[in-house]
Amino acid sequence: MSSHQESKTDLKKITTRTIRSKKGKEKITSLTAYDYPTASWCDEAHLDLILVGDSLGNVIYGEKSTLPVTMDMMLAHTRAVSRGVKHALLIADMPFLSYQTSIPEAIHNAGRFLKEAGAEGVKLEGGAEMEDTILAITRAGIPVMAHIGLTPQSVHAMGGYRTQGKTPSERDVLMNSAKAVERAGAFCVVLECVEETLAKEITEALSIPTIGIGSGNSCDGQILVLHDLLGLTEGHAPKFVRPTGAFRGPIIESIKAYANRTREGV
């Protein structure tokens, strides 16, 4: 294939329909991005989906959890990301308390991401308990990416960050949740740290794609936090990340080289 043909095919805009149509045919590729440069790197690498994750609370703001993240923070970062995205589907994460309090508030806040920040859909955490909310948002014409399993906004209720779906009752709850978000109209669902055999069962049971993170290779696609993948974060990334870069060290060395050059006056 010539480079001209390649770029023509690759430049096709990814929509929620594209994502749905990949199920069972082609794996879906996605990463988080939080600003203009990281978004343009992901887009130029031809990822299918870019998520402005509320993980920016940890990765960008140095918080211990995603709980302090606000609508204002998410809107500002989504706007910046949208300027770097031409090809991928752009999804914004709804932060804690922006959709749990009432359905009208959830629709209003979801709509702000499309109206004010250039997102093409939203992601929210929760399964069966969020069925009515997902239904209402999708009925307002806003695509929803669901998120079940380890849901970091419920870290205190879950008693920490751990693999979900290890007991028969947890497995039933998760399978029911997966079916509920599909019924409610979600176009895909993130399975975070779901026990691998259950992730496979859910993937086989649903007609919408599953996007896994720490849930094994059977999902219809994968998502990771970009900074974990590139080795930009301090300390060890979770084992499932398998970083493809180790850029934190070289960046610090580059800064040191500049500082030394400056100190020496050369």
Q: Which residues lie near ligand KIV (CB under 6 A)?
A: 32, 51, 53-55, 93, 147, 190, 192, 213, 223, 225
- Cβ at position 47, least distance to ligand KIV in Å: 14
Closest residue to ligand KIV using C-beta atoms:
53
Give the integer Cα–Cα distance in Å for 213 and 30: 10
Which among 120, 192, 195, 201 is annotated as catalytic? Answer: 192
- Print the SS3 string covering 154-199: HHHHHCCCCCECCCHHHHHHHHHHHHHHHHCCCCEEEEECECHHHH
- Which one, 109 or 139, has the nearer CB to ligand KIV? 109
Please, what is the minimum distance in Å from the beta carbon of residue 6 to ligand KIV? Answer: 29
> CB-hemisphere CA count at 13 Å for 208?
23
Which long-range contacts does 234-243 make (Cβ < 8 Å, 24+ apart)? Answer: 238/214, 240/213, 240/214
User: Residue 225 or 237: which CB sits closer to ligand KIV?
Assistant: 225
Strand partners, 194: 164
- Do β-strands 144-149 and 221-224 pair in parallel, antiparallel, or remain unpaired? unpaired
| Residue linked to tokens 């752009």 | 90
Q: Which amino acid is at 166?
A: K
- The verdict on whether 192 is a catalytic residue reads yes
Q: How far is the CB of 54 from ligand KIV (least distance, A)?
A: 5
Place of tokens 């219809």: 220
Q: Measured from the CB atom, is 23 or 147 closer to ligand KIV? A: 147
Minimum distance from CB of 85 to ligand KIV (Å)? 16
CB-based contact 247:230 (threshold 8 Å) = yes
Q: Among residues 107 and 190, whose Cβ is nearest to ligand KIV?
A: 190
66 within 8 A of 156, measured Cβ to Cβ: no
Catalytically annotated residues: 192
